[in-house]
Structure 1
């Protein structure tokens, strides 16, 4: 891929499930790349997905990763396959955009990041809410002191699954609320703390509670975190809906975000700033297609010879992985 050919970077999607369909739709809005190939465990499923979304090439994971006409891969498979697929793609000279969580364990996360560093290929954990005008402004507000000293983050994300079946409720593929959706509030807390200048490498779980369901996965969970001088309180569930809100409290102002996570098709567009002097400001932002934006960020890193994407640096990916593991362990 030449630097003058930024609009035609060739993407492969690994995994033919629902999140991959959303990525394929989002990629149509990308400025730096297009869908070229689809890989799945079952080659026939890959071919059907490729036909549905207009990809030229289809095959098994190994067949697609081995091709030399692919610049980057998106991994939308179950959590327990992320590490193996990411490492194979990085070793094959591909940039990698991997759905959150990057892996199911801190050790696997470290292993993947080590390969990315060695191969010099870009790797991004796909927290799509980190992309768009709002998260850029959020980082600037916090780093610039608009809230004063950040003291606390409250964030939650949860939904009610229709039934206790499938990957979400299967411990063999690292199902459960914490890894699937709890990673969002944890990653926000880590990001806010980092923007406030806290040493996220020292982040720790202070307290963890939750409910382990009949299939053996965490269905609902709550945790208190300490990240430098920032306290965070996070909640998640896969059996009950929760607000999609977050609240960031500083000693001079509070920022309330009614939909902290945006959606799969539009980034967050509004927040309310409440200052200690009683003034209230409604903040509004333009939106982007966040899956397209994160894909473009990987290709830009590839073009510029960078391994990291600034919206989700590796130090934060490592911190999130440790916190998620400790949160899960804290439930017993």
Structure 2
């Protein structure tokens, strides 16, 4: 981490859980100048110590999530547990008065998401879902360009994301942990279409379930009052091309794989092709960290880039898709 001015103390982060996504987040946290990893919490003190030693020279280690939440020298907690634990773990942080950035998907369903959002607003603490794609400079640039008419009137959006899940990763297969390819990767193409087209008027979805009843692969067509159509797909059973595109009567934007963490994109208009590449810090998680830091310093309890109402709308759409899949 770069030197921080003594006049501006860093935002002190706690990381709750020590899995792969927590490690990626911690690596990007180290790149943000006004942030520091202050503490780590795990259900195992040994795991917490290993994580703290790996990612910080002075982070405190706790052998329970409650101890981490109770640390008075932590300003905000990043909750990195599986979806099925989010309600319990976020509430633990709220009860300790902590601001929270919770890994996506926020919860297993919209009702649980609404409960957490209402609790955060009641307590007046900062809360956001860690949908880091929303903060990616290239995704934001695409939104601005589409809004400015770079594609004309948008008629089609396509986005898909998929990979082959290893059988030994419990959070991807165990229903008790909230396993769902829609919650894990499908949320990205769904969110992307919403960033471009807004809320759909109708959704038609289909998918395949595992023998334990979780969705492992699926797709959906979404329609909009504007006349636009979006086609999305997600899977943990195949190596998708992981691309996205926005097409209109005046041009097309194409995003190379993997679109949700893009470092650049192309814009085609008539016979002209332009390439764009906004700089991305680290893996891209740094930009949501920067956004949260700015909100906390400004005294805001909600983020315009990570809007709670927008998160809840996505959760409602996920509920509808999962209902149709069965």
TM-score with structure 2 length normalisation?
0.91
* Greater alpha carbon shift after TM alignment, 302-311 vs 82-91: 82-91
Q: 1:83 aligns with which of 87, 97, 100?
A: 87
Closer, same or farther in 2 for the Cα pair 1:248/1:226, shift >3 Å? same
1:243 Cα offset (Å): 1.2
Q: 2:67 aligns with which of 63, 69, 76?
A: 63
| Alignment of structure 1 residues 294-309 onto 2, 5 Å | 294-309=288-303
Q: 1:151 aligns with which of 146, 155, 163?
A: 155
Q: 2:49 aligns with which of 47, 64, 75?
A: 47
Closer, same or farther in 2 for the Cα pair 1:51/1:286, shift >3 Å? closer
TM-score with structure 1 length normalisation?
0.90
- Number of aligned residues: 318
**Corresponding residue of 2:194:** 190
**Corresponding residue of 1:212:** 209
Q: 2:323 aligns with which of 299, 309, 329?
A: 329
SS at match of 2:212: coil
Contact 2:203–2:321 under 8 Å retained in 1: no
- Give unpaired runs (5+ residues) of structure 1: 195-199
Closer, same or farther in 2 for the Cα pair 1:306/1:246, shift >3 Å? same
Q: 2:185 aligns with which of 181, 191, 215?
A: 181
**Corresponding residue of 2:33:** 31
Contact 1:205–1:323 under 8 Å retained in 2: no
1:309 Cα offset (Å): 1.8
Tell me whether 1:128 sits opposite 2:132 in the alignment: yes
Tell me whether 1:271 sits opposite 2:265 in the alignment: yes
Give the Cα separation in 1 of the matches to 2:259 and 2:132. Answer: 8
**Corresponding residue of 1:281:** 274
Deviation per CA, 1:33-72: give whole Å up to 9, x if none: 1101011123332223222222531211001101211001
RMSD of the alignment, in Å?
2.0
Give the Cα separation in 2 of the matches to 1:307 and 1:278. Answer: 46
SS at match of 1:52: helix
Of structures 1 and 2, the one with the larger relative CO (CA 8 A, separation 6+) is: 1
Tell me whether 1:242 sits opposite 2:244 in the alignment: no
1:4 Cα offset (Å): 7.7
1:330 Cα offset (Å): 0.9
